[in-house]
Structure 1
Amino acid sequence: MQEQTLTWGQALRIYLKPRVLVMFFLGFSAGLPYLLVFTTLTAWLRDYGVSRTAIGFFAWVGITYSIKVLWAPVIDTVRLPLLTRWLGKRRSWMLVAQLGIAAGLFGLSQVNPQLALTQVALLCLWVAFSSATQDVVIDAYRIEAVLPEYQGAMAANYIAGYRVALLVAGAGALYVAEWGNWSISYMSMAMLMGVGIIATLLIAEPDHARVKREAEVFQHAWVDRVLGGGDHSRLWEWFVRAVCCPFLEFFQRNGRFALVLLLFVGIFRLSDIAMGIMAYPFYLDLGFSKTDIAEIGKIFGFFCTVAGAYLGGVIVLRYGILRPLIVGAAMAAATNLLFAHLAQVGPDRAWLAVVISADNISGGFANAVFIAYISSLTNQAYTATQYALFNSLMTLPGKFISGFSGMVVDAQGYSVYFIYVAIIGTPAILLAIYLWWRDKRTGESGAGPG
């Protein structure tokens, strides 16, 4: 992508385009179920006297989101009876996933955890599975619905909607439970899934005709190469077409450089994820009150994240992806040094506001740009599968490293820990610079738009 000549006003108006605007509502639909099977759920279970040991096991429900790449090939290739003909490839799966979430949340509203904890666990697993499926489809739709230069704006609206949903499913669900009860709370959340359902019914299906023809040629060649020209089962043929071809296409298109791209996807969010798990313990240990954390960290931080995401979307539209990607990587790493400084300053609300502002603006900016970048790496013939792979890869290394965060803090303190976290963000900055330099030198679109 070449540098754009749009004015700032023209760039900002991109957020009013129908397909960009609808991403806010799809983002809301994606974010709503997440906390309802995690932190909000744990509050509900504890309120009903469920043991902490049992509550801990519910964390395993989250594995569903990390392995969604396993069934993404099904979403990419399988047609749903009647629905696909009516709504199209993406909207049909989106509707089924949303109805699954709504049904699961309604089921939870009818269950007493004290009497049927196993049933609660199964319903949570169903909601998480349906939610992860919806994530796969929405990501595929987002990439296929607009031109690559609009992906930053699509990501920004998605992030904004997602963040609003987190507030509704977190604080909102707790308020409803306090005012009424948990049954009413989960039932109201099930009804709010109507936002996503209405959006799905109103949006237009992307055109898949051209990429479908290209995919059929590519798949036919690899089926013959892998299975030979003789007779073979339809299951094996489907496996090669749906599961193998998305990965084969990515490596064939990028060659050995594909390994560099996957490495970059895996390390870009290392600094962000490793810092996040220690944030709340850090605030409390430093002496901030829960009110300070709620007002500055949650409410003020929410607006900063959304502002950063929208800024990222506009910058991508005006200047391409790779240069903002360098800035985003640098900002994400550098803000950890502010946390290290805050550890020395102590419980100063003004400094907390500064740190939260910088961290959330940089986080929103970097996420919007990074989502646009990994979207550009996909082939629209295999959007769901390839993006699900990138999405899983970008969180797993950070989650693994963050598991050691408590040990480092206990041994060396918060200041040293945040300095370490800033340092592990350095490789992402260097790789982002390399990607920009390579794209500038070669002009190859396979290296990513810049």
Structure 2
Amino acid sequence: MDNQPDHKTHTVKSWKQTFHTWTHPRVITMLFFGFSAGVPILLIFSSLSLWLREAGVSRSAVTFFSWAALGYAFKFIWAPLVDSLPLPGLTRLLGRRRSWLLLAQMAVIGSICLMALTDPAASGNNLVKMALAAVMLGFSSATQDIVIDAYRIECAEEELQALLASTYIAGYRIGMLVAGAGALYLASWFGTSREVYSYTAWKYSYFAMAAVMLIGVATTLLIEEPEKKVSAENYTASHYLRFLLLFISSAAVFVALFFLSGSTVASLENSAHTTFPEYSRLLSFAVEAGRLFFAIAGGLAAAYLLVLLKIADRKMVRHTYIAPIVDFFKRYEMQTALLLLSLIAFYRVSDIVLGVISNVFYQDMGFSKPVIASVIKTFGLLMTLAGGFIGGMMTLRYGVTKILFLGALLSSLTNLLFMGLAAAGNDVAFLTLVIAADNLSAGIATTAFVAFLSSLTNISFTAMQYAIFSSLMILLPKLIGGYSGTMVSAWGYERFFLLTTLMGVPVLGLIWLADRKLH
């Protein structure tokens, strides 16, 4: 394994050195970038859902806005563009990462303003305009995430990645709080309510959120471009334009096939439910998965055809999409690479599968909305932030692998506390203990995991490789989590929580094996 990266033995730092590292400019920068990344997501989901509900939009129409989430789900598809394509004028002025950051942030602000200027209660096609603006916001926000992840990995050495991750997560959570509770508070203060809808109130609230995004813009303009140089191919403007045409054409084919097949898929699902009602959930998943793979295959076929027609340069396409994957397997060799990918796919399975059903569990236990808001949301947020900071300091002091193992162990063990809560019932004190332990462990685990993923990327393909890792880490847990309700109905909460605990045990073995392979 001579061609594997050199994962050096970690040098233990003193606590004084560890605390001093928090003042590093890059660490502080990621707090503001995290805030900028956390603002848009709730403006698409919870805050927008409440706006639409007050505007009298039907529940079925609200599901139309789930399309906006596609940008986050498939961001790895256009992540190579961020690595490869220079932006005319901006790249020369600001550098590769800052130019894309500024473009993405201005697109986010523009999308939020478009949403603010659209009244979903008005007649005509305003609801379609709102949906398109939300999709634009999802796409531009996901692009901002891609660039921030790449910037974070490139701007500082590996030992700082845990602290960068912890401040990024803290900023992200604060941004979500501002866009969630803050936007709702402003809308209410401006005069809207469920009884008396006011478009003006929501408009001003969203304009305020667009103004808040200027924090991210100011950060982009004030920081310096990462000093690390990456190997770059020399291509002409014509090569870049033709490559962009290939991407747009492939994306258009994918989107067209995915959405135009909706009626056919719905018909197949109805037939499956009628013929095999006992397997309805499994068959629905299979049909939807087939729809997704059909659309992906169509997009890939379109790209391949354009390459055959020499509309796009074959070498450039290979360097952009194939080289990052080949590089990962070359650096780690097949056996170690598959082990690392398995670890990435399974690391968060224990807490994500439980998290899917958690809100339903709290309601079933009889906890009131004020208790859920104060203990689970507000207190839970504080514990997550604390866990992130603790995880960052411990990772810097003791190394990534040890805290990665600790985070996985704690995430599994704290699920046993949910078993106790299920037995205890409506006990606010016990709930507070469970939330404190669960969110602290989640903060520690997430910070160490982000630092671990960052260490696996090659500086030449940062955006593409990290986008693949971040998509893979939630794919399997989300798929399993879709059956959480079914498992609870069949076995009850206590057995379900025990199962989620056991799901975390193989992860500990994967971490141990990965550590042996990498060192």
Contact 1:266 1:394 in 2 (8 A): yes
Contact 1:95 1:197 in 2 (8 A): yes
Aligned mates of 2:455, 2:58 — CA distance in 1: 46
Matches within 5 A, 1:82-101: 82-101=89-108
Q: Match of 1:383? A: 462
Q: Match of 1:133? A: 143
1:234 deviation in Å? 5.3
Contact 2:67 2:135 in 1 (8 A): no
Q: Match of 2:291? A: none
SS at match of 1:112: coil
More displaced stretch, 424-433 vs 194-203: 424-433
1:389 deviation in Å? 0.3
Could you list the per-position Cα deviations for residues 71-128 of structure 1 after superposition, in whole angstroms to 9, with x for gaps in the alignment?
0011001000010011101000001000000000011111011231000000000000
1:264 aligns with 2:264: no
Aligned mates of 1:233, 1:53 — CA distance in 2: 42
Q: Match of 1:196? A: 216
Q: Match of 1:251? A: 329
TM (norm. structure 2) is 0.80
SS at match of 2:231: helix
1:207 deviation in Å? 2.2
SS at match of 1:11: helix
1:5 aligns with 2:12: yes
1:7 deviation in Å? 1.4
Q: Which residue identity lines up with residue 189 of structure 1 in the other structure?
A: M
Q: Match of 1:22? A: 29
The verdict on how the C-alpha distance between 1:438 and 1:121 changes in structure 2, with shifts beyond 3 A counting, is same
TM (norm. structure 1) is 0.92
1:62 aligns with 2:69: yes
Aligned mates of 2:378, 2:36 — CA distance in 1: 20
Q: Which residue identity lines up with residue 16 of structure 1 in the other structure?
A: T
1:400 deviation in Å? 0.6
Aligned mates of 1:232, 1:184 — CA distance in 2: 49
SS at match of 2:450: helix
Which stretches of structure 1, 4 residues or more, deviate above 3 A after TM superposition?
Answer: 231-234
SS at match of 1:394: helix
1:4 deviation in Å? 2.5
Q: Match of 1:158? A: 168
Gaps of 5+ in 2: 1-7, 191-200, 235-308
Q: Which residue identity lines up with residue 332 of structure 2 in the other structure?
A: N
Aligned mates of 1:427, 1:12 — CA distance in 2: 34
1:123 aligns with 2:108: no
1:233 deviation in Å? 6.6
Contact 1:323 1:436 in 2 (8 A): no
Aligned mates of 1:412, 1:47 — CA distance in 2: 38
Q: Match of 1:370? A: 449
Q: Which residue identity lines up with residue 105 of structure 2 in the other structure?
A: Q
Contact 1:4 1:317 in 2 (8 A): no
1:3 deviation in Å? 2.8
Aligned mates of 1:138, 1:340 — CA distance in 2: 38
1:60 deviation in Å? 2.9
Matches within 5 A, 1:340-379: 340-379=419-458
Q: Which residue identity lines up with residue 111 of structure 1 in the other structure?
A: T
**Over aligned residue pairs, what C-alpha RMSD do you find?**
1.4
Matches within 5 A, 1:136-151: 136-151=146-161
Aligned mates of 1:233, 1:424 — CA distance in 2: 48
When Rg is computed on C-alpha atoms for both structures, the one with the higher figure is 2
1:272 deviation in Å? 1.4
Q: Match of 2:205? A: 185
1:427 deviation in Å? 1.6
Q: Which residue identity lines up with residue 413 of structure 2 in the other structure?
A: A
Could you list the per-position Cα deviations for residues 180-206 of structure 1 after superposition, in whole angstroms to 9, with x for gaps in the alignment?
111111110011000100001111111
Gaps of 5+ in 1: 217-230, 444-450
1:417 deviation in Å? 1.2
Q: Match of 1:48? A: 55
Q: Match of 2:43? A: 36
Contact 1:378 1:386 in 2 (8 A): yes
Aligned residues: 424
SS at match of 1:32: helix
SS at match of 1:212: coil
Could you list the per-position Cα deviations for residues 144-179 of structure 1 after superposition, in whole angstroms to 9, with x for gaps in the alignment?
000000000000000000000111111111101111
Contact 2:365 2:422 in 1 (8 A): yes
Aligned with 2:227 (options 207, 213, 232) = 207
Aligned mates of 1:48, 1:65 — CA distance in 2: 26
1:80 aligns with 2:87: yes
Contact 2:408 2:504 in 1 (8 A): yes
Contact 2:155 2:228 in 1 (8 A): no
Q: Match of 1:283? A: 362
Could you list the per-position Cα deviations for residues 217-276 of structure 1 after superposition, in whole angstroms to 9, with x for gaps in the alignment?
xxxxxxxxxxxxxx9775222101111111111111111121111111011111111111
More displaced stretch, 134-143 vs 424-433: 424-433
1:5 deviation in Å? 3.5
Q: Match of 2:492? A: 413
Aligned mates of 1:29, 1:186 — CA distance in 2: 15
Aligned mates of 1:177, 1:434 — CA distance in 2: 52
Q: Match of 2:385? A: 306
Aligned with 1:171 (options 173, 181, 193) = 181
Aligned mates of 2:81, 2:316 — CA distance in 1: 10
Q: Match of 2:197? A: none
SS at match of 2:22: helix
Counting aligned pairs with the same residue, the percent is: 44
Aligned mates of 2:337, 2:310 — CA distance in 1: 30
Q: Match of 1:237? A: 315
Aligned mates of 1:237, 1:208 — CA distance in 2: 25
Contact 1:31 1:162 in 2 (8 A): yes
Q: Match of 2:5? A: none
Aligned mates of 1:49, 1:340 — CA distance in 2: 40
